[in-house]
Amino acid sequence: MDIGRERSTMNVALWIVQGLLATLFLFAGGAKLVLPLDQMAGPVPLPGWFLRFIGVAEVLGALGLVLPGLLRIRPGLTPLAATGLVIIMIGAGGMLAVALMNLVVALLAAFVAYGRWRLAPYRDSSRPAVLRPAS
């Protein structure tokens, strides 16, 4: 297998993981923003402002996973967004099953961060996309 094909396969894998993580964090962060605070009470009591802050961070992280690559604007933000989501998942706690799920999500976000930083960064990311007229 040549390097171009490996890079293409890695790019597809990264986009799939980015899409799944973005969906997960948009849902989780959106829920933290719209649900009443009394419905979000968990085993560890957290202040309402902190839950809302985490919700905003999750939604922004989800957008940061996909928008820079789609719009080709500041693609270096994608690994930073993924790293921020890893930090959020490290801080998330719970029972063993929840902690294992958090670990899997954190590892997937770490894969995106490293993949977009080193393995398959966006191509021609320094130049904005140019629309050309059809011939």
Question: Over the stretch 21-50, which tens digit does the pLDDT of each residue have?
Answer: 999 999 999 999 999 998 887 777 889 999
CA 7, CA 11: separation in Å to the nearest integer? Answer: 6
Give me the pLDDT at residue 127, please.
52
Per-residue pLDDT of 86-134, as tens digits, reads 999 988 876 677 888 989 999 999 999 999 988 888 775 445 555 567 7
Give me the pLDDT at residue 8, please.
86
Note the pTM of the prediction, 2 decimals: 0.81
How many other CB atoms are found less than 10 A from the CB of residue 123? 11
Q: Which two tokens stand for residue 57?
A: 């961070």
Q: Provide DSSP, 38-89.
A: GGG--SS---HHHHHHHHHHHHHHHHHHHHHHHHTS-TTHHHHHHHHHHHHH
Structural element, H or E, at residue 27: helix 3-34
